[in-house]
A = this chain, B = another copy of it.
Amino acid sequence: MTEPPDPDDAPTRARLFVTVALADGAPVALDARATHYLRNVLRLGPGAEIALFNGRDGEFRARLDAVGKHAAQATVLALRRAQRPEPDIWLLFAPVKRARIDLIVEKATELGVARLVPVITHRTAVARVNLERLASIAIEAAEQCERLSVPAVAAPAPLDAVLAGWPAGRRLFAADEAGGGVPLGAALQGAQPGPWALLIGPEGGFADAELDALRQFQFVTPVGLGPRVLRADTAVTAALAVVQSWIGDWAHPPRS
């Protein structure tokens, strides 16, 4: 009962992030990661059509010219989707164990976060963060979810240092699982236009002194995420969805 998909409308499975400039007719060299995916996962060869995006020039159709073991060549054909502004939302999160931190990066990317900032809090149990792995998870999630950009992943920093150097004009919604905040939906109802940021603490919650410090900052709005205690990765996905739904880009349909 399924019609064959319209090739201009259906998502291209081979959708790759590149860092080079994209323009009609330009040759593009694909790196080892992209080549592995094209050759060993999708089993594509010369002549196959792929899609390329770089976070600046939009998404382009491209044709594979050559596929080697560790490198491939493509030629850009034509623009498929123009670049457009995206909501400017940062996610500050306390690093958690490996499987869960991977989920945080994947979900935050799917939900349109512009910048991921690992913050070390009083009760943060995980000190070492593999930034390279997180960056590649963000790239893969962006490729899968048809985003036109890849979020930046900042180096981990102590929460108080991040707050001390906070940029003017960016509101920070801080999830307070101790119950001190207003419901996130209510906080968003009166929210000024962006930029915004969201802070999700460690699984043990913030220390009292951290909560007190957070409340001192004019740019911080403590918020509540409902009556149940959420895992850190659940809280990230849930809160970002509510933000995107209330004041972000969820009013836009897919592939628009």
A residues contacting B by CB (< 8 A) are 1-3, 11, 103, 106-107, 110-112, 122-123, 144-147, 177-179, 183-186, 207-209, 224-231, 234, 237-242, 244-246, 248-256
Contacts and interface: CB of A to CB of B under 8 A. Distances in A.
A240 to B, nearest CB: 8
B238 A254 contact: no
B242 A254 contact: no
Contact of A256 (B107, B186, B227, B246): B227
A36 B185 CA distance: 40
Nearest to A248: B226
B249 A227 contact: yes
Contacts of A177: 254
A145 B250 contact: no
Nearest to A203: B144
Contacts of A248: 226
- Sorted nearest first, the 3 A-B pairs with minimum C-beta distance are A238-B241, A179-B253, A226-B250
Given A254-B227, A254-B229, A111 B2 contact: no
A250 B183 contact: yes
A256 B145 contact: no
Given A186-B251, A238-B241, 17 more contacts: A2-B123, A106-B231, A106-B234, A107-B237, A112-B228, A144-B231, A145-B228, A178-B254, A179-B253, A179-B256, A183-B245, A227-B256, A229-B254, A234-B237, A239-B241, A242-B245, A242-B250
B185 A229 contact: no
A249 B229 contact: no
Nearest to A244: B226
A108 B61 CA distance: 38
A244 B208 CA distance: 27
A2 B207 contact: yes
A84 B38 CA distance: 53
A111 B110 CA distance: 19
A226 B2 contact: no
Given A224-B253, A234-B111, A253-B224, A146 B241 contact: no
